[in-house]
Amino acid sequence: MNRYVSAILLCVLVFTAVVSIPEGEVYACSCGGEDAKERLELFMVVFEGKVLNRGELKEFQQQLFREYTFEINRAWKGIEKERITIFTYGEASSCYFKFTENETYLVYAYPGKDHEWETNFCSGNIPISKAKEELKQLGSGTEIYINDGAADARNYSRNVLISSVVIFILALGVLASRRVRKRKD
């Protein structure tokens, strides 16, 4: 009877252990519970951006980091350009944050040790589709306009046209002044 009870207890223990294992990803990072306004104060760079590229793993100070390139849609702090490269701990780290290409995120970053900007699981990065409350706390931010090159081409064409007109008028002025001098002579 004693063996029978021990076997049942062992089965219950194994079953409980298996059932209590979470299905999703598990992280061992210890994170604070800051809200979006507190994170805005804590982090040097805060933006909404679309992941353009998931880069290679790179080693900095014997630690692997994954490189991500973002196209900035809106910024709250620390950035005014169209694109930014952010590093996060490599996949083997417990603090790794996995960004998905072509997805848009609210990102909080801080200066990296050997690279420009870094973020991690505890930074509070969140897909923009789930960031309604955070966006409300942060306010409107500054929209970053993407320069597709068309505006530069239009400006260049306009500058060439204006320069050509000015040169033409100057040339007419020089010719007119020479004619006036010839008549006086």
Kindly state whether residue 157 falls inside one of the protein's structural domains: yes
Co-location of 169 and 137 in the same domain: no
Is 119 in the same domain as 42?
Answer: yes
Same domain (yes/no): 42, 59: yes
Domain count, the chain: 2
Residue 7 domain-assigned (yes or no): no
CA–CA dist 117, 51 (Å, integer): 15
In this prediction the pTM is 0.63
For residues 72 and 145, give the distance between their C-alpha atoms in angstroms, rounded to a whole number.
Answer: 8
Q: Which range is most confident: 46-50, 141-145, 158-162, 173-177?
A: 46-50
SS3 of the chain: CHHHHHHHHHHHHHHHHHHCCCCCCCCCCCCCCCCHHHHHHHCCEEEEEEEEEEEEEEEECCEEEEEEEEEEEEEEECCCCCEEEEEEECCCCCCCCCCCCCCEEEEEEEECCCCCEEECHHHCCEEHHHCHHHHHHHCCCEECCCCCCHHHHHHHHHHHHHHHHHHHHHHHHHHHHHHHHHHHC
Supply the mean pLDDT for the chain: 81
**Statement to judge: residues 39 and 101 lie in one domain:** yes
Is position 50 within any domain? yes
Are residues 86 and 175 located together in one domain of the fold? no
* pLDDT of 137: 94
For the domain that residue 47 is a member of, what is the CATH number? Answer: 2.40.50.120
Q: Are residues 80 and 110 in the same domain?
A: yes
Domain that holds residue 172: 152-185
pLDDT at 24: 46
User: Using one digit for the tens of pLDDT, what is the confidence trace for 15-59?
Assistant: 565 555 545 444 457 787 789 999 999 999 999 999 999 999 888
pLDDT for residue 82 is more than 70: yes
Write phi, then psi, for 114 (nearest 5 degrees): -120, 10
The whole-number average pLDDT for the span 64-70 is: 94
